[in-house]
């Protein structure tokens, strides 16, 4: 889901945050969508959703649209000085990985993709 800004204008994920809203940078979104595209090509994911709030930005990937997300990547800048602003959640909401760098947080999904290709 894309958020709306003042006057109902759509806020794209790579635009600077408005009114304190958290978003993804172009580089972050490119990295996430690259993984998503490879998972789609591997037949694992078929749909995605994005959500932007004042506290966090999240990208959810679905096997089927009607299901809960199979994976969710969340950027929460308030946690930057603690365990890191990036979190990878599993299908049942469990925390799979936290970190300061997006690439490290996406690593478990990257490994899963490699296993799919090897099989």
Cα dist from 79 to 47, 57, 73, 95, whole Å? 28, 13, 14, 14
Give domain limits for the chain: 13-114
Global pTM value:
0.77
Residues of the chain with pLDDT > 90, as a percent, come to: 55
pLDDT at 16: 53
Q: How far apart are CA 18 and CA 72, in angstroms?
A: 23
Any idea what DSSP says for residue 20? T
Give 61-83 pLDDT, tens digit per residue.
998 877 789 999 999 999 898 88
The single residue listed with the structure tokens 């172009």 is 26
């Amino acid at each position: 889901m894309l958020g709306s800004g003042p006057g109902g204008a759509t806020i794209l994920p790579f635009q600077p945050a408005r009114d304190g809203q958290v978003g993804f940078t172009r580089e972050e979104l490119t990295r996430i969508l690259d993984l998503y595209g490879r998972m789609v090509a591997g037949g694992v994911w078929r749909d995605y959703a994005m959500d932007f709030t004042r506290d966090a930005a999240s990208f959810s990937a679905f096997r089927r649209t009607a299901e809960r997300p199979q994976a969710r990547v969340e950027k929460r800048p308030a946690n930057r000085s603690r365990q890191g602003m990036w979190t990878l959640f599993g299908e049942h909401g469990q925390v799979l990985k936290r970190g300061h760098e997006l690439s490290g947080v996406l690593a478990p999904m990257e490994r899963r993709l490699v296993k799919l290709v090897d099989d």
